[in-house]
Amino acid sequence: QTGPVIDMPVPASFNDITQDPSLENYIGWVWYEKEVLLPLRWLQGDPAPRVLLRFGSAHYYSIVWVNGVQVVEHEGGHLPFEADISSVVQGSPGSLCRITVALNNTLTPHTLPPGSIQYMADKSRYPKNYFVQNIKFDFFNYAGIHRPVVLYTTPAAYIDDITVTTTSSDSVAVVHYQVAVAGSTASSLSLSLRDQEGKVVATGDGPVGELKVLNPNLWWPYLMHENPGYLYSLEVRMQAQLGRALLEDVYTLPVGIRTVHVTSSQFLINGRPFYFHGVNKHEDADIRGKGLDWALIVKDFNLLRWLGANSFRTSHYPYAEEIMDLCDAYGIVVIDESPGVGIKLPESFGNKSLQHHLAVMEELVRRDKNRPSVVMWSVANEPASELPPAAHYFKTVIAHTKALDPSRPVTFVTDANYALDHGAPYVDVICVNSYFSWYHDPGHLEVIPLQLTAQFENWYKTYHKPIIQSEYGADSVPGLHSDPPMMFSEEYQQAMLREYHSVLDQKRKEYVIGELIWNFADFMTNQGTTRVLGNKKGIFTRQRQPKAAAFLLRDRYWKIANESSCLPPVITSHSHFL
């Protein structure tokens, strides 16, 4: 023990929990410890069950011990990892089981996201051994055990993995499945697919096969169908003989039947053109930082549906599985993004970084491959893709992701010049971030029509691929008003959105397939002269209260939904129809 021991809730970031300013910006190792008593039935039997310890995520480098025995190491946040701890705990039934976690949140040029440690050598200006963590991304580098930690069991022989893909025509759909069993070489598998009423609509057996569903209910996005997010449940049942014991393992997987296809100018879901009218988000809130919070999650989904948003991007890292479950259930379409944000330094494009990025994509695809809400993978956000090594880097990462999952398009989000971007040749959809009249020509709204039109036309004539405006927006301090509009006022945020929307309305008739506002809600960042307690580009405050721009966007999104939908028009206020 090298420092004070304090209570720390899990899941939560540790940064904002105390009054200690050194913990707020702490970089380095922290230690978590907890003792639990395992049920005796977990530790007995022939064969005894497997006991597993699973972390939803921890930032960023984790080493885990159980009763002083190291059981797992994991590099990277935002994704789950687990350890089989059976051999450690089964020798001592009835005694407490001590779980110890060492976490290090240091970011280097080879982590994802990358960063660098800078030591300040000038002794006249800085204390001895003084250093700062440099990052090239604009959100606070929260750390801690951010998602639930669970102990669970499986039989000694168990279902290890399931992969599902779907195809459909008018009257019949096919659910292709692949099931991996571990712990036994002689097992049998039976599968049954149930609809939402619990009726069995298809059955199968064996590790690989297909289930045919007549007159299927397709998985449709929110506002595209009166019954969005339709989920079947696939029950996979394994039986295996191990010694004298007959073991059984059952896993139920939600399955949405839907197809995704990209043309040179459209994004098709179930063969129908889909327009992304959505948001970029962050896992970020007062006090808990990036810690999972069910009340906040449900509030955010209620706000998304109130807004008429049909989609979001998991900027700039994979979100909690609990969030993804609700996207599947509510029909919210997701661009699932890796933690590849802030890849700016030349050394972050080397082989060490590339190998880690490939491993992260494997973890992400394994976690989210069966989700109908996930329609596209994003491997990075705003990398320095104008650097020559970016060509090999993104060609490799995108090819690897497609090999892992041939069923989905792959992109990354760029802010590079269209003529200089070495990664863009390898994406299926062009995703562009731009902040005309904010970071460029600040205060000059009048340049937006010209600059945004040129942006779209240059990208399209170069690549002939559909385009998403994946970020645009302006900071507004709630309650700050100015007419004529001035930067940081609620009016300026609205005015910028209107200018973007008028160009988007022209280009969405051609090849622009989506618009994602930056950002859904205000969020915390590092301190800096352009950040007043964080980034204020949210259309909602950090406490999830609407700014003026939220109502503007709500009117727009419901109008777009009513144009493209076969649903009856929706009244979005008491006073007028859209």
Active site residues: 382
Q: Which helix (H) or strand (E) holds 104?
A: strand 97-104
Task: Write the CA distances from 401 to 70, 241, 361, integer angstroms.
Answer: 31, 36, 6
Other beta carbons within 10 angstroms of residue 140's beta carbon come to: 24
CA–CA separation, 135 and 36 (whole Å): 37
Which residues pair with residue 159 across a beta bridge? 181
Q: Which residues contact 351 (CB under 8 A, 6 or more apart)?
A: none
Task: Write the CA distances from 20 to 6, 143, 530, integer angstroms.
Answer: 11, 15, 25
DSSP character for 397?
A: H
Computed from CA positions of residues 306, 311, 313, 314, in that sequence, does the dihedral angle turn out positive or negative?
positive
Give CA angle at 270 (266, 272), nearest 5°: 45
Other beta carbons within 10 angstroms of residue 232's beta carbon come to: 25
Name which of 109, 163, 160 is nearest 136 in CA terms.
109
DSSP character for 358?
A: H
Which residues pair with residue 149 across a beta bridge? 55
Q: What is the DSSP string of 399-461?
A: HHHHHH-TTS-EEEEE-S-TTT-SSGGG-SSEEEE--BTTTBSTT-GGGHHHHHHHHHHHHHH
Other beta carbons within 10 angstroms of residue 271's beta carbon come to: 12
Name which of 177, 305, 187 is nearest 246 in CA terms.
187
Structure tokens at 360: 């992260």
CA–CA separation, 322 and 5 (whole Å): 30
Using an 8 Å Cβ cutoff, are 108 and 134 in contact? no
Instruction: Report the amino acid identity of residue 77.
Output: G
- Measured in whole angstroms, the distance separating CA 16 from the mean position of its chain's CA atoms is 23
Using an 8 Å Cβ cutoff, are 307 and 554 in contact? yes
